Amino acid sequence: MASEGEGSEARSPASAFTVAARLLAGIALTVGQTAQLRAINHKYQQSLYTMLAGAHRAPTDAERSQLDAVAAHDIMEMLTAEQRAERAKGGR
């Protein structure tokens, strides 16, 4: 039986927190933004469950890419202009 991630780089658990860690390394979030990120993750998890129709399997790369793109958009929308500028300076 193939293990998860066999044949490709193993991926971290599917969540908006994983997307945020990739996008926002070194950028501090406010308390309000942290609450928004939790709401974005809740939306991500609901979408994941709906997409998988309750099946107990990992999402495909295509499914995960779709979810990650929506989460990335939502995360970028919650950033202030200063945080976006800081992110741009960091080359992300």
Q: List Cα–Cα distances, 49 to 24, 36, 45, 46, in angstroms.
A: 25, 20, 6, 5
Mean of the pLDDT values across residues 6-24? 77
CB atoms under 10 Å from CB of 24, counted, come to 20
What is the C-alpha separation between 31 and 48, in angstroms, rounded? 26
State the pLDDT confidence band at 34, using cuts at 50, 70 and 90. Answer: very high
Whole-prediction pTM value? 0.81
Question: Contact 7/56 with Cβ under 8 angstroms?
Answer: no
pLDDT for 47 beyond 60: yes
Q: How high is the pLDDT of residue 7?
A: 37
